[in-house]
Amino acid sequence: MARIPVAVVGATGLAGQQFLAALDGHPAFELAALAASPRSAGKAYGDAIRDEKGASRWFAEGRVPDAFASLPVQDAAAFDPRAVSLVFSAVDGDAARELEAIWARTTPVISTASAFRMEPDVPLVIPPVNPDHVELLEEQRRRRGWKGFVAPIPNCTTTGLAVTLAALEPAFGVEAVLMTSLQAVSGAGRSPGVGALDVVDNVVPFIPREEEKVESETRKILGLLEGGEIRAHPMGLSCTCTRVSVLDGHTESVSVRLSRRASPAAVAEAMRAFRAPADVEALPTAPARFLEVHDDPYRPQPRLDREAGGGMTTAVGRIRPDPVLGGAKYVLVSHNTKMGAAKGAILLAELVHARGLV
């Protein structure tokens, strides 16, 4: 079967590099175009990621895929998406609002940027959690008169939390969530990213705008799509987001108030039983299990568990009763640059493709 031509815009940054790594050898998507800032425009990709000393600044695993190193990088601001069937956007917040809207007039855009996440006609989809929200894309097209659409993925800190809550909601009813995150440095990108001065022998107790994003995004993702709009889930949410000296993999300490009594064993059972719809489980980038439960109290650990399921599985452990919220508490680890960013966006692209939206 012929593969679908796709583009990556914002291709030279950390998220863009993760896109390239994940698209290398992809069965359905063929990387046909690359774009980035004017500084990179006109160069071959392999040259565009070199620094002033000629050194390659490739931060994903392995090396730049050979097939991509010679692809020319276009200027994102002048990029014409009509040559491809799908655009993966990893551009930064401010530019995203303007550029993604332009591209979406003609072409579907899957984005890691936050610009459109909270728009009423924009679904915020994690395929194993709320795949049916992709239907809102039709509504978006209609309202905006676009041939394409913008489908963003959530913040990397939202993803693991939403996956675990999706396993609890049907069985027990989620009423409120308290979460403290211990986030990896790769979540902040590369330029400038988190400084070594901030995390050597240290914790930074604040990540600008992160807590608000997790709170509003989680409610939207677990909300109900009805009559062309999403009613946010009414759960209470209170987050504290911190940065620690970990490379990849966000750790989250979560307490949940549940509508129905749930012993730790019942919570573990619900998480172990969690399944995505069959068509989601069949997507090329889907792991064998989106949720994995550890009995070992020393797990999950980011270094040991972030790569589970190719970085697409959320690992959970330390499931205990929470006497204060009257529900359960647990610790999760989710890979912030895989399930929480580029590979998560590719999974979403696979879903919209499988459901005939591309």
The Cα–Cα gap between 19 and 21 comes to: 5
Token representation of residue 322: 């929470």
* Residue among 32 and 304 whose Cβ is closer to a second copy: 304
Span 268-287, contacts to a second copy by CB under 8 A: none
Shortest gap between Cβ of 202 and a second copy (angstroms)? 4
For a second copy, the binding residue among 44, 69, 102, 204 (CB under 8 A) is 204
For a second copy, the binding residue among 205, 234, 277, 284 (CB under 8 A) is 205
Question: Which parts of 24-86 fold into alpha helices (H)?
Answer: 45-48, 66-69
Neighbours of 312 (CB within 10 A): 25
* Residue among 133 and 306 whose Cβ is closer to a second copy: 306
**Contact pattern from residue 246 through residue 265 relative to a second copy, giving x for each residue in contact according to CB under 8 A and a dash for the rest:** xx---x-x-x-x--------
Tell me which amino acid residue 92 is. D
In order, the DSSP letters of 69-94 are: HTSBEEEGGG--GGGSSEEEE---HH
Tell me which amino acid residue 153 is. I
For a second copy, the binding residue among 42, 236, 277, 284 (CB under 8 A) is 236
The one catalytic residue among 133, 233, 250, 353: 250
156 is catalytic: yes
Shortest gap between Cβ of 70 and a second copy (angstroms)? 17
Neighbours of 256 (CB within 10 A): 27
For a second copy, the binding residue among 114, 186, 216, 313 (CB under 8 A) is 186
250 is catalytic: yes
* 324 is a contact residue toward a second copy (CB under 8 A): yes
Straight-line distance from the first to the last Cα atom of the chain, in angstroms, rounded to the nearest whole number: 15
Q: How far is CA 197 from the centre of its chain?
A: 27
* 300 preceded by a cis bond (ω within 30 of 0): yes
For a second copy, the binding residue among 97, 106, 240, 272 (CB under 8 A) is 240
Tokens 């399921």, residue? 309
Shortest gap between Cβ of 327 and a second copy (angstroms)? 10
Neighbours of 38 (CB within 10 A): 10
Stretch that binds a second copy, among 80-88, 145-153, 200-208, 259-267 (CB under 8 A): 200-208
Span 19-58, contacts to a second copy by CB under 8 A: 53-56
* Residue among 77 and 244 whose Cβ is closer to a second copy: 244
The Cα–Cα gap between 81 and 270 comes to: 43
Tell me which amino acid residue 49 is. I
Angle of helix 156-172 relative to helix 264-273, nearest 10 degrees, comes to 110
Catalytic residues: 156, 250
The residues of the shown chain that bind a second copy, judged by CB under 8 A, are 14, 53-56, 59, 176-178, 180, 182, 185-186, 190-206, 208, 236-238, 240, 242, 244-247, 251, 253, 255, 257, 296-304, 317-318, 322-325, 329, 331
